[in-house]
């Protein structure tokens, strides 16, 4: 499997396994959709998923994409019993902070359960951080469910902090009918 040095992961730790990290492409949308549903089921939020594979294809791989993606892929010999080689993903987009300027927002970071603890999630997040720095970003932002202690511990271990606890920010949202009503003002 041909790899670029800055996009690949080599096994260095006994728990690690061979996998590659690469830019997502249009052909990955089916697997990204599968993993979005796996993540939503883990978070008990599957009924909230409205995006479709077609949406991913249009929104991520058009002339002006709304998001970018990174895929973690294992060699054939490590594929899942269902035959999946794409075992993790992250979606991100560039944003802007009125306080510090350029920023990057990581919408999802997901690794299939049987591949966790092997360096895959860290490699995905590291790649987003590398892309952020290369674009001149000063922040990497994301949200996490308050009950998800394993993920919170993972992110804290990467040097992240809880902005809600530290600064007092809350993630707010307006959607559905409220969004339509707001647009009418």
Q: Where are the domains of the chain?
A: 5-142
Strand 101-111 to 139-141 pairing? parallel
Q: Which residue has the higher pLDDT, 167 or 3?
A: 167
What is the per-residue pLDDT for 112?
A: 97
Q: Residue 112: how many CB atoms within 10 A of its CB?
A: 20
- State the catalytic residue, choosing from 89, 105, 110, 155: 155
- Fold held by 5-142: Aminopeptidase (3.40.630)
* φ, ψ for residue 97, nearest 5 deg: -105, 130
User: What are the pLDDT digits (tens) for 62-85?
Assistant: 999 999 999 999 999 999 999 999
Q: Using the predicted structure, report yes or no on whether residue 1 has a pLDDT greater than 80.
A: no
Return the pLDDT at 16.
54
Rounded Cα gap, residues 185 and 182, in angstroms: 6
> The whole model's pTM is what?
0.88
Known catalytic residue at 155:
yes
Query: Phi and psi dihedrals of 64, rounded to 5?
Result: -120, 80
pLDDT, one tens digit per residue, over 17-50 is 799 999 999 999 999 999 999 999 999 999 999 9
Q: Report pLDDT for 9.
A: 44
Name every residue whose Cβ is closer than 8 Å to that of residue 88 and which is 6 or more positions away in sequence. 35, 71, 72, 109, 110, 111, 112, 115, 120, 121, 124
């Amino acid at each position: 499997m041909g790899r670029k040095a800055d996009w690949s992961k080599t096994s260095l730790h006994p728990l690690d396994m061979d996998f590659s990290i690469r830019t997502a492409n249009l052909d990955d949308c089916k697997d990204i959709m599968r993993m979005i549903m796996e993540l939503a089921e883990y978070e008990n939020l599957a009924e909230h998923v409205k995006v479709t594979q077609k949406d991913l294809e249009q929104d991520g791989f058009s002339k002006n994409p709304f998001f970018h993606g990174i895929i973690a892929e294992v060699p054939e010999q490590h594929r899942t019993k269902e035959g999946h080689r794409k075992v993790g993903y992250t979606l991100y987009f560039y944003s802007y902070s009125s306080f510090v300027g350029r920023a990057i927002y990581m919408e999802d970071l997901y690794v299939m359960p049987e591949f966790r603890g092997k360096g895959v999630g860290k490699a995905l997040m590291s790649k987003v951080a590398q892309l952020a720095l290369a674009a001149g970003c000063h922040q990497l932002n994301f949200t996490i469910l308050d009950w998800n202690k394993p993920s919170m511990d993972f992110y804290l271990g990467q040097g992240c902090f809880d902005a809600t606890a530290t600064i007092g920010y809350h993630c707010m949202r307006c959607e559905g009918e409220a969004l339509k009503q707001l647009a009418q003002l």
